[in-house]
Structure 1
Amino acid sequence: MSLYFTLLFALLTVEMAVLFVLVLPLPYTVRKGAYQTYQKLAVNTQVKTVVIIVGVIVGLLFADSWKRAQIAVHMFHHNISLSSEGEGESRGRYDSHAVTPTQALASRAYNQRNVYISGFILYFMVGIATVMSVMRRLVKYQGLLREKAGKASAGSGDDDKETAELKKELLLKQKDLAAMQKQVENAQKFFDEQNKPVDASSDAKKSE
Structure 2
Amino acid sequence: MTVYYTLTFMLLASEMATFCVLVAPLPYAVRKRLFRFLSESPVVAKFAYGLKIAFIFVAVLFIDALQRMWRVTAEADIAKNNGGAIHDARAETSFAARKFYAQRNTYLTGFCLFLSLVLTRTFYILLDLIHSQEEYAKLKQDTAKTSRDQISSSEQGKQIAELKKKLGEAEAKARDYDILKKQAQQNQAEYDRLATEYNAKTGAVSDKRKD
Question: Hey, what does 1:8 align to over in structure 2?
Answer: 12
Tell me, in whole angstroms, the C-alpha distance in 1 between the residues paired with 2:63 and 2:17.
21
What is the correspondence of 1:11-160 to structure 2 with a 5 Å cutoff? 11-12=15-16, 14-15=18-19, 18=22, 30=28, 37-71=34-68, 72=71, 73=73, 74-75=75-76, 78-80=78-80, 82-83=81-82, 93-96=83-86, 101-128=95-122, 130-131=124-125, 134=128, 138=132, 142=136, 145-146=139-140, 149=143, 152-153=146-147, 155-160=149-154
Q: Which has more radius of gyration?
A: 2
Structure 1: gaps spanning 5 or more residues = 22-29, 84-92
Tell me, in whole angstroms, the C-alpha distance in 2 between the residues paired with 1:60 and 1:95.
38
> What's the CA shift for 1:163?
0.8
Q: Is 1:12–1:120's contact at 8 Å kept on the other side of the alignment? A: no
Tell me, in whole angstroms, the C-alpha distance in 2 between the residues paired with 1:40 and 1:17.
14
**Length-normalised TM-score, structure 2:** 0.64
Question: Hey, what does 1:90 align to over in structure 2?
Answer: none
**Length-normalised TM-score, structure 1:** 0.64
Question: Hey, what does 2:209 align to over in structure 1?
Answer: none
Tell me, in whole angstroms, the C-alpha distance in 2 between the residues paired with 1:43 and 1:70.
40
Considering fraction of residues, name the structure with more helix.
Answer: 2
* Distance verdict in 2 for CA 1:192–1:179, change over 3 Å: same
Question: Hey, what does 2:170 align to over in structure 1?
Answer: 176
What RMSD, in angstroms, separates the aligned Cα atoms of the two structures? 4.0
Question: Hey, what does 1:25 align to over in structure 2?
Answer: none
> What's the CA shift for 1:64?
1.7
> Is 2:166 aligned against 1:166?
no
Tell me, in whole angstroms, the C-alpha distance in 2 between the residues paired with 1:59 and 1:15.
20
> Is 2:194 aligned against 1:200?
yes
Letter in 1 for 2:79: N
Per-residue CA deviation, residues 91-130 of structure 1 (Å, 9 max, x unaligned), is xx42528977111111012112112222123313542465
What is the DSSP-based 3-state SS (H/G/I as helix, E as strand, rest coil) of the residue aligned with 1:101? helix
What is the DSSP-based 3-state SS (H/G/I as helix, E as strand, rest coil) of the residue aligned with 1:94? coil
Letter in 1 for 2:116: L
Equivalent pairs counted in the alignment come to: 189
What is the DSSP-based 3-state SS (H/G/I as helix, E as strand, rest coil) of the residue aligned with 2:84? coil
